Structures are given as C-alpha cells and as structure tokens.
Chain A
C-alpha cells in the first residue's frame, strides 16, 4: 500500500498555520547563501538530494529562491511551482516575508513560507507511527522530496474486513490527525507508488475504453468526481495492464532519463514497456533500468522499515557475571523466548536477532543471527544463535546481555497432518531451516546458488551468489529461489555451450610450463609426480575481446596422462606459458 500525503510540502506548512490563513500558501526554497538550520546540517545528504531534484525540476531558475509548491487558492491567484519567488510575490496583493514557524504578517493574502524538507520528512515519520497498527512494516518513500509512506499489508486485509476497509480506516485514522491522504493498493511497491501519484480520471479513461462504444457515457464532471476517490485498489495480477495509459513520470525514473524518453516520443508506460529490454542500457541510466524492472515486477523492492518507537527487545543484567558458555547460552535462550513472546503478541516474525554481550572489562561482543524467512519459533532462533555463539571467543565474564529483533510480517502458515508428519512437509521450509543453520555457522558466503553468466572465460561462466543476502527480508525473490531449488517442475536448463567442461576447476591455474616447454610432448610435473601425456585433443580457443580489462587468450587442450587421468590445460597465447586449469573427474 502506498499512502500519499497530497501536496505534502504545502499540507505540512498549512498544518502549522491558523485555520483562517491556510488557504493561500506557497512554499519556496531558500537562497543557497542562507545558512540552513541545525537539523538541515544533520541530514545533509537527503537535503542535498531534495534540493538537487528541485533544481532539476525548475532548471530555469537556478539562481534564486523558487516556489516549490502552492495551495489551490494560491494557484488560482496565479502563483505556480517553479516561479521565482520575486515574481510570485509581485502577483500577491500583500506579499509577506517569513518562515514557516514565524509568519510575520497578521493577515496575509498569500503566505510565502520557507520549504523545510527535513521537517517534512520528520513529520512523515511521525505519521508512520499512527499507521503501525495496520501493517507490520511501514517505510518512508525513498524518493527525493518524499510525500508517501509504504505499508506492507500482505495478509493484513482480512484482519480489517478487506483491503478497502483497511484503506478506509487508514485514511480516517490520519484524517483525525489533520493529514489529507490518498491510498493505492497494488502488487508491488513500484506500481502502488505509480497509482498513488496518478489522478483518478487517468485511470477512468482505461475503464471507459474497456466498456466499449455502446455504453452510456455520463457527463465529464460526474465522472471526475466519481474517479477522484482517495482509494485505488488494483486487482492482483492486473497492475501492468492498468499501468499502460499512465505517463512515464510515475515510473520514478530520473528526470534526465524522462527527458531522453520524451525526446524519443515515449510518453506513456505502455510505450516504455514496449521498448526492447536489450536496447535500454545504451539509452537509459542504471537507476532508470532498475526502476523499470521494479515496475515490471522482475526486481523486488524492499520497503525500508522506519525503526519502531517501541522495538521488540529484551535484556538481562546481573551483578554476578556469567563466565561459562553454558550459562550464557541459558540467558540467551531466556531472552529469545522473551522476544518470541513479544513477537507472538504483535503477530510478527523476525528475520534478524542482534545480541549484545557486555563483558566485565567493558568489551562488547555483538552477535547477529539472520534467518532467510521470517520466524516466530524460539527453538529455531535459539539454535541459530547458539551456532553463532559457538564460533565466538569469550574470554571474559559477561555482565549484561541485550537482544533486539528486526520484525517483519509472518508468511502464511500451513497446518500439518496429525498422523503423517511427512504428508504436509514443505521441502522449501525444511531447506530454509538448514540454510539458516549453515549460513549462520559457516557464513553467508558458504551457501550459494548458481546463476549462469554470458562470459566465455571458464572461471566466470557461472556466478555463485549467497542464498542469504546481507539484507534479509521476506521478499518473493528468495521464496522463488527456494521453490526452484526443491521443485522438479521448476527445473530450468541453461545453455552455456555444448563443449564439455571439467567438473573440478582450480581456483588458480597451476603453471606447468613456460614458453620454451611443451607439456603435450614433454609431459609436466604435478604434486611432485611426472605426468606423461599419452593423448590429447584440442586446441579449443577461448578469448575475450581486446578491449576487456583483463583480456584472456587461451588455447585449451584436454590431455590424458599415463596415469589415465584427464586434465584440462591451456597455453596462454600471449605469454606462451602453460597452465593446468581443471580436472575431468
């Protein structure tokens, strides 16, 4: 769910004004020479991103203060976003100077207030606290100049009488606190954002077209009022078709890319989605391609949760320090049970437990246990934590332990059969448990999935990626990978080439001869043993283009030695040296 705060900079400014002076408001940027306040200095990075966006949007007025947003009445008075402040003031009958906090005029016609993006951001985060009871994960829109909150309401609709009822309750809850919002519910973060930032009449055009010619068309005024409702719910699986008529601005692609696309005549999402995917990298930036993939649902987008004001945590302090590992384990087990009890009360799961051990000497040991899918089981979480604890050197007694949990919504649970425990075993769930244990004990880099890469160099023909990413989440991508791993129907074949490759590939090729030798005729030495080549096939030439940074020029031979072993050796055609690269085991 995307919760958009309508005309946010103006709405936020209006909230701090008396009711009788809220109608005519314009928010403007401050001159670059003016010193920003302390909060701006604290959040330098986001402010600069906000300012950059405004400069990009209103490129004609880079020099001075510019109007960023205006209220409806100010718009009617002729003030427009992007207008220089001086010009906007001249349009007002009684222009007044001041900041948002200290307006100087007792009765201004148009209130010109300084834009304070940090305050806007902070108030949005405060508003997020009011929505926590509707969704376990609430995040701030990560775009510059955010005006929205993202709520992960997966599985939450039924608790509030359906998604529409949930949306209505969210709007009413915020309206009671003087927030004016509109809501869009869709399959993904990207599509929800797009629909939340689209006016209702644009969506209405699609439906009118679908109804066909014979349908009675009502007056435009009635249709607009009907479609400009604060709640838009897109049926599951239909987001892409509803996106088609929307303009490309709602795809969240950078402004520079939007301009390029407009020059190419690409105005709507339909046109954007029809572009050949292979051509996009040459025309658009990486950020734009990523946004497009998110819009198509190819790439997942994680909602970066706003930290809770009341986090799930537990702690233990004692004046009698614990020195043996068993005692520490016992304390951690109790704390885990406490955390899980809190999670159960809130109907949440966890993907990360962070445990801090404070030692006598003032040392602190931090222990983090990640799980690949949300858990609410004390025994499994403790098992994972104890695996991490086993590998930690604890030389001093521990005086205090605190534990904190990162919360996420729980996946749907499946009931098991009473008599046959194997009947409803989900292999993906079972695999998840073992991946959790292996990744925590051996490290995330130890459990890897395979992804083919279009690269002729043997050592780069496939890419091994950790199944547990450094940012654990309940994303569908991990679920899909787990499902692919265990499902026979999900078998995908990859065509890397028909030529045989050795099953064992040495991480570093062993040099077996210089340019003056020829192992094919003279043999070579490996592990102190002479290997005489009795037969060979080749060469198979593998080389990369000359412009690659580490260009490869190799002639590979498959050789059989007098010991009947089959090896893969190559001659570097540039240096002339010979290397052993693989074993056909």
Chain B
C-alpha cells in the first residue's frame, strides 16, 4: 500500500470517527472490589448518570458515593459538588483522597432549599420558592453535565422529573461527564433514566460492632443497570469509626453483624 493511500485511509477513518458524536466510554474502578464485582463492566462507566439511594440522612450513601468518585480524579476535569441545600462540608473530604484543589462547589442559592435537604425547616418553606430553587439547581446540574471540563458532579436531589432526568442523561452521554445523584428512599418508587442505580442500606449493627475501633456497615445493592445483565447480591461495606473512610468488610465480620440487612 502506497503512502498516499495509507494516509487517505487514515483520513477516512478519522472522518468517520469525527462524525460519531458519543465519546468513547471508559470504566473507572470504585476502588472497592466487592462493589466492582456487582457492576457489569467491573467499574463505573464514565459519561453516565448514577443514582445512590439512601434510606435516610445519616445512612452514609454520600460517603460511599464520594469514595467511589475518587477513581475519576485520576483523569482531567473538575470534581463539582452541586450543593442545593448548602450543607455540604468540604472539610469532611479531607480524610479521603479527594484534594480540595480539585473541588468546586456550586450553591445555586445561598438559601437552604432546593436539594435533598437535611435542614429541619425545609418543609416549611414557601413551595414556589422551593420550586424555583430546585429549577435553578437542575439547570446548574445540566450545565455541568454538558461541560467536558467537568470530570464528575455530585448532587443531592429529592424530586426529579423523568424529563429532567432524561435531559441530564443525554447531556452526560454526550459530554462524558459522570453525574452522581444522591436521592432519598422515595426515589425508589420513581422511574429512572440512570445508567446505574444503587440502594444503600445500613445494617443493624450490634453494640459491639459500633464500638470504638470497629466499623459501622452497610449493604450496597445494584437495583438497576442500563443495557446490561444485572448481578444479584450486594456489596458489604464498612465505615472506619475514626477516619470515616469507606472500606470493604471481610466475610467473617459480615457474618457477625448483619441481623437487619435486607439483601
């Protein structure tokens, strides 16, 4: 083959590639082998929408999501936290491998509404104002989802219409940004466009399990996986009592403290 025809072939191939809009997806390990084992490609796909559903505030779904986000930070792009509630505490991530210099916080409103809020007074707010703030937050999230300068975005979202979720999913599919949505248990009964959906449940630990030096533990179930065979079972994770780091729980430890886990 002559050099000219080789060059032409290369150009033709590049032209075809440039016409296909979807960026090639890569898989990023969660850093937790038992969780990776649940996933169709043994990791979280980039350019996807991933939901983390928690039974309630204080059940460590956010900690697990942040733990799984670390793998994305080895690639260029910012780590954005959309904090509609205004309660995100950046000092909490200092013990993880997430550097503060990579973190960008977006607070659509200085006011404490709009997100999956942990404040006590959120329910008493004017619903119209809440709706406006929620709209602003979703707009911000969609903008971030379209930006290839962002590597991963994390947001706490309580209510999300199917249309808004679909828009977001299409946005991240095009740009290659990964979006983690941390949602309350009510979201379990809603339809979802998410590529992956996890349910985080806290195991009912005994007194001895929770004592100093040990870990609290939770079960993470994959309840939806788009376009892939779903793996059964759940990953058992623990949270270090002192540092708060999310770790895997050994088989032996799991056997002693799993009375209430619905798995």
A442 to chain B: closest CB distance in Å? 5
- Is the pair B147, A434 in contact by a Cβ cutoff of 8 Å? yes
A437 to chain B: closest CB distance in Å? 6
**Residue of B55, B101, B109, B144 touching A492 (CB-CB under 8 A):** B101
B45 to chain A: closest CB distance in Å? 17
**Residue of A430, A431, A451, A585 touching B118 (CB-CB under 8 A):** A585
Residue of chain B at shortest CB distance from A561: B58
A482 to chain B: closest CB distance in Å? 8
| B43 contacts partner chain A, Cβ-Cβ < 8 Å | no
How far apart are the CA atoms of A488 and B79 in the complex, in Å?
A: 11
Residue of chain B at shortest CB distance from A461: B91
A414 to chain B: closest CB distance in Å? 14
Interface size on B, residues (CB 8 A): 77
**Residue of B14, B119, B149, B242 touching A500 (CB-CB under 8 A):** B242
- Is the pair B61, A585 in contact by a Cβ cutoff of 8 Å? yes
- Is the pair B18, A421 in contact by a Cβ cutoff of 8 Å? yes
- Given A446-B108, A485-B102, A492-B100: A567 touches B120 (CB 8 Å cut-off): no
Residues of chain B within 8 A of A500, CB atoms compared: 92, 95, 240, 242-244
Residue of chain B at shortest CB distance from A565: B58
| A16 contacts partner chain B, Cβ-Cβ < 8 Å | no
The digit string for B221-244, where 1 denotes a CB below 8 A from any CB of A, is 000000000000000000111111
| B189 contacts partner chain A, Cβ-Cβ < 8 Å | no
Which applies to chain B's interface (DSSP): helix, strand, loop or mixed?
mixed
- Is the pair A503, B88 in contact by a Cβ cutoff of 8 Å? yes
A500 to chain B: closest CB distance in Å? 3
Residues of chain A within 8 A of B170, CB atoms compared: none
Residues of chain B within 8 A of A449, CB atoms compared: 103-105
- Is the pair A433, B100 in contact by a Cβ cutoff of 8 Å? no
| B187 contacts partner chain A, Cβ-Cβ < 8 Å | no
| B77 contacts partner chain A, Cβ-Cβ < 8 Å | yes
Residue of chain B at shortest CB distance from A500: B244
Which applies to chain A's interface (DSSP): helix, strand, loop or mixed?
mixed
Of B1-9, B32-40, B68-76, the stretch lying at the interface with chain A is B68-76
How far apart are the CA atoms of A451 and B104 in the complex, in Å?
A: 11
Of residues 551 through 574 on chain A, the ones whose CB sits less than 8 Å from some CB of chain B are: 560-561, 563-567
B176 to chain A: closest CB distance in Å? 8
- Is the pair B136, A442 in contact by a Cβ cutoff of 8 Å? yes
B103 to chain A: closest CB distance in Å? 5
**Residue of B92, B99, B140, B149 touching A491 (CB-CB under 8 A):** B99
Residues of chain B within 8 A of A527, CB atoms compared: 120, 123
The digit string for B92-133, where 1 denotes a CB below 8 A from any CB of A, is 111101011111111111101000001110010000000000
- Is the pair A419, B14 in contact by a Cβ cutoff of 8 Å? yes
- Is the pair B210, A560 in contact by a Cβ cutoff of 8 Å? yes
How far apart are the CA atoms of A72 and B186 in the complex, in Å?
A: 85
- Is the pair B100, A585 in contact by a Cβ cutoff of 8 Å? no
**Residue of B94, B149, B243 touching A427 (CB-CB under 8 A):** B149
| B148 contacts partner chain A, Cβ-Cβ < 8 Å | yes
Residue of chain B at shortest CB distance from A445: B110
Of A101-109, A144-152, A168-176, A504-512, the stretch lying at the interface with chain B is A504-512
How far apart are the CA atoms of A429 and B147 in the complex, in Å?
A: 10
- Is the pair B78, A419 in contact by a Cβ cutoff of 8 Å? no
B83 to chain A: closest CB distance in Å? 9
The digit string for B202-213, where 1 denotes a CB below 8 A from any CB of A, is 101001001110
Output the residue of B60, B90, B108, B143 with the most chain A CB within 10 A.
B90
A386 to chain B: closest CB distance in Å? 14
- Is the pair B94, A494 in contact by a Cβ cutoff of 8 Å? yes
- Given A446-B107, A485-B104, A504-B89: A564 touches B136 (CB 8 Å cut-off): no
- Is the pair A565, B59 in contact by a Cβ cutoff of 8 Å? yes
| A134 contacts partner chain B, Cβ-Cβ < 8 Å | no
| A58 contacts partner chain B, Cβ-Cβ < 8 Å | no
| B56 contacts partner chain A, Cβ-Cβ < 8 Å | yes
How far apart are the CA atoms of A492 and B103 in the complex, in Å?
A: 11
How far apart are the CA atoms of A421 and B108 in the complex, in Å?
A: 31
- Given A501-B89, A527-B120: A427 touches B78 (CB 8 Å cut-off): yes
Residues of chain B within 8 A of A450, CB atoms compared: 90, 100, 103, 105
A96 to chain B: closest CB distance in Å? 65
**Minimum-distance CB pairs A-B, first 5:** A565-B58, A430-B149, A431-B149, A500-B244, A505-B89
A-B residue pairs in contact (CB < 8 Å), sample of 27: A434-B150, A441-B140, A445-B110, A448-B106, A452-B91, A485-B101, A485-B102, A486-B102, A486-B149, A493-B97, A496-B94, A498-B243, A500-B243, A500-B244, A505-B87, A505-B89, A506-B118, A506-B119, A507-B86, A527-B120, A534-B207, A535-B207, A535-B211, A583-B87, A583-B118, A584-B58, A584-B244
Q: Which residues of A contact B (CB under 8 A)?
A: 418-422, 425-434, 437-438, 441-442, 445-452, 458, 461-462, 464, 467, 484-488, 490-507, 510, 526-527, 534-535, 537, 560-561, 563-567, 582-585
Supplied contacts A500-B244, A504-B118, A507-B87, 17 more A-B pairs, CB within 8 Å: A419-B11, A419-B15, A426-B149, A427-B78, A427-B149, A429-B149, A431-B150, A434-B146, A442-B106, A450-B90, A452-B94, A461-B91, A464-B105, A485-B102, A501-B92, A535-B210, A585-B182
